[in-house]
Amino acid sequence: MKSLDVIRAERLSKMDETARAEYEAGYVDIDEGIRISQIFYDERKNLGLTQAELARRMRTSQSAIARIENGAVTPSTGMLERLARVAHKRVALV
């Protein structure tokens, strides 16, 4: 699977200056949500869990994990903390 940074670089390399500026402006707006989705996906994969297994450990539904991973919803801080506990990590909001 390609990282978001690789996909972004590939897209930008194919754009003229005007299109690149418009893309960058839109990317800033959605960048945070995409990165959170990527964190959930990466942590789940690093743990070797399916969405259903992660959901069970986090005491939520598989569909909730899927919605977070596909960027349909942004997880609450509580959900981030639950992921951190499962992954034996800490959440730092900066």
CB 53 within 8 A of CB 67: no
pLDDT band at 11 (very low <50, low <70, confident <90, very high): confident
At residue 8, the pLDDT reads: 80
At residue 29, the pLDDT reads: 63
Domains belonging to the chain, first-starting first, are: 4-87 (1.10.260.40)
How confident is the model over 28-79, as pLDDT tens digits? 667 777 888 888 999 999 999 999 999 999 999 999 999 999 988 989 989 9
At residue 23, the pLDDT reads: 83
Tokens of 23: 């893309």
